[in-house]
Amino acid sequence: MKLDQEKYWIILVLIAVIAFWAGGRDFNFSTQEIPAVEVMGDNSINSKDFNIKDDEIIVHIGGEVNNPGVFSFSQGIRLIDAISVAGGETSKAALDQINLARIINDGEHIIIPSYLSSEAPADYSKLNTQIQSGGQVNINTAGIEELSSLAGIGRVRAEAIIEYRDNNNGFKNPEEIKNVAGIGVQTYNNIKDDIKI
């Protein structure tokens, strides 16, 4: 009788251990990493932005694109490719007003303008720029309007500055602007206190 009770308890314990082990396997999902979900749309961010890699940039694209929002790209991406990732341009986009071939930088807020507007949008003068501090113009991010505001720099020279920085992955120092066609020592001396990188 005593032997039967011992067998009964051993079997009961074994059943309990097996049940506990089998039941625990069903809860393994709680230790798995939840994949990052990219949220698209106005004023959206990607949840993966909190784990930005060294070779990634984060850019806000708005205006006349089909899926405006904040996106993560590899460094060196061109504006035309970034627009494509944002769902492509809308039928109202005025792509001839922007440089589609330029390389975009981390932290930019890019607004794709509409051809329906007779003038550029209110913030179009700051297109592809970051907020400036101390009144200085960042020659690596400034748009045509902002560059044109510099002494001796008209629209033609502003376009030349943008073309140069796009072809050379930006300026390494402010003095490098003298390499741009039409900007000599005198022009540089006139603007050197008003520019930065």
Alpha-carbon gap, residue 53 to 48, rounded angstroms: 10
Q: What is the pLDDT of residue 20?
A: 67
Give 43-75 pLDDT, tens digit per residue.
Answer: 444 444 445 566 789 999 988 999 999 999 998
The mean pLDDT value for 159-165 works out to 90
pLDDT more than 70, % of the chain:
70
pLDDT more than 90, % of the chain:
19
Q: Smallest Cα–Cα separation from 92: which of 110, 128, 66, 130?
A: 66
Q: What is the pLDDT of residue 48?
A: 46
Alpha-carbon gap, residue 144 to 63, rounded angstroms: 18
Domains of the chain listed by start with CATH number: 36-117 (3.10.20), 129-197 (1.10.150.320)
pLDDT greater at residue 65 or residue 130: 65
Q: What is the pLDDT of residue 126?
A: 43
Please provide the distance, in angstroms rounded to a whole number, between the alpha carbons at the two ends of the chain.
Answer: 91
Is a pLDDT exceeding 80 seen at residue 168? yes
Q: What is the pLDDT of residue 1?
A: 52
pTM reported for the whole predicted model: 0.39
